């Protein structure tokens, strides 16, 4: 058995959960926050049998596409700004998914 830990952008999460459920996979949703953009994201925990792993990954890959977005430039280190500092928008790639896969020795549902 595998545990898929998928970190996805909030705007992809509901669609991804729906598609996973349609495909017969359950998921646990955790609200999390990204570090660089300090934007909300969602971490999904999905337990799958080894023979269904590729099917689950296929769903994640189809739903979570990366895209370009304008974002405010991050504040300087320490958050200190001077009168000369003016944040400007930068183009960043968002979306997609960061996926960790763990082998599960035992699964217990009580």
DSSP bridge partners of 102: 3
Contacts of residue 39, Cβ cutoff 8 Å, sequence gap at least 6: 9, 10, 33, 94
Quick: pLDDT tens for 46-97. Answer: 999 999 999 999 999 999 987 776 666 665 655 555 555 566 777 766 667 8
| Percentage of the residues of the chain whose pLDDT score is greater than 70 | 74
| Cβ neighbours, 10 Å, residue 92 | 13
CATH of region 2-74+88-103, choose from 3.40.50.300, 3.30.70.120, 3.30.460.20, 3.10.20.30: 3.30.70.120
Residue 74's SS3 state is coil
Joined tokens for residue 109: 């549902």
What beta strand segments (E) does 13-104 contain? 28-33, 40-48, 66-72, 89-95, 97-103
């Amino acid at each position: 058995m595998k545990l898929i830990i998928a970190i996805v952008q909030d705007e992809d999460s509901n669609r991804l959960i729906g598609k996973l459920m349609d495909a017969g996979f359950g998921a646990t949703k955790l609200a999390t926050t990204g570090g660089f953009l300090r934007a909300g994201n969602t971490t999904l925990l999905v337990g799958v049998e080894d023979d269904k792993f590729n099917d689950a990954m296929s769903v994640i890959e189809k739903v979570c596409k990366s895209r370009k977005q304008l974002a405010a430039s991050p504040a300087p280190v320490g958050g200190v700004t001077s009168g000369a500092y003016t944040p400007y928008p930068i183009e960043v790639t968002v979306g997609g998914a960061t996926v960790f896969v763990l082998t599960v020795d035992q699964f217990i549902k009580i």
